[in-house]
Amino acid sequence: MLATYPYHGHTFSFDPGAPLDISLPLAPGPNQVNCFWAEPVQFDTIRVGDFVGSVAEGGSTNYKRVHLTPHGNGTHTECYGHISTDLEATINRCLRRFLFVARLISVEPRQLPNGDQVVMLADAQSALGGIFPDSEVLPEAIILRTLPNHKAKRARQYSGTNPTYVEPALAQYLAEHHIEHLLLDLPSVDREEDGGQLLAHHAFWQYPEHTRRASTITELIFVPDELKDGLYLLNLQITSLELDASPSKPVLYRLS
Ligand SMILES: N[C@@H](CC(=O)c1ccccc1NC=O)C(=O)O
């Protein structure tokens, strides 16, 4: 059954029964994506007196403590609190809506003379195909799939590998065109080691001059090949953490 979604004078249709999950699972073990030297996810069984929080060990219930690092362990969404001392800047306060019209694009990074792999503004503009400002439907979110789209991305150990990042001019361009949410399959929009500059983060959030407080960046997604470039309804869910970032669950629905 199709549901309708009104947007800027259009009436889109989508199938609530056909979600396309672009998050990565969070689990212990070696086969999990990892970056920024994060410890792996850990689930600890809680033991209090005679109680053991493990049914496998004879307990009545499973009851575990979770040890995780949002920026390093898997799909996560962050707000400008990532680069600010503002106590208000938590993902739970910044992300107040959860449905957005999103455009999925696929872009191949280019190699700079120093060897860095970078997603360039010019290539993203070609992938967007002149949607700014000509398109009838301006999206609120851009989902950036980098090419090639190897499944190995789902479990890559990125730390110390100088992963692909985004040209700051592209982040600036998206901010200027009022893209509120950027999602991508990389550990960061910025270079792994950049002396703390985080130029693309600053450009996307226009921080600190004209901070875009409701805007978010979601990193370490994975977009399967079956999803074609185009328009989707994005349901972006987080945990209600009063922290700069939260593990997140972006789910897409094809729009027609
Ligand atoms: N590039 C930064 C570090 C950095 O960006 C970072 C460090 C720890 C956890 C996440 C980070 N950035 C993620 O977007 C630096 O060189 O200081």
* Stretches in the chain below the pLDDT threshold 70: 130-135
Residue nearest to atom 16 of ligand 1 (CA): 193
Residue nearest to atom 12 of ligand 1 (CA): 188
Q: What is the pLDDT of residue 170?
A: 98
Q: What is the pLDDT of residue 132?
A: 64
The sign one gets for the Cα dihedral 63, 78, 81, 69 is positive
- Ligand 1 within 6 A of 188 CB? yes
Q: What is the pLDDT of residue 131?
A: 66
Q: What are the backbone angles phi and psi of residue 201, rounded to the nearest 5°?
A: -60, -50
- Ligand 1 within 6 A of 244 CB? no
End-to-end Cα distance, the chain? 13
**Among 233, 232, 184, 214, CA closest to 24:** 184
Q: What is the pLDDT of residue 163?
A: 98
**Among 177, 5, 163, 150, CA closest to 72:** 163
Span 38-96, pLDDT tens digits: 999 999 999 999 999 999 999 999 999 999 999 999 999 999 999 999 999 999 999 99
How far, in Å, CA of 198 to CA of 95, rounded? 21
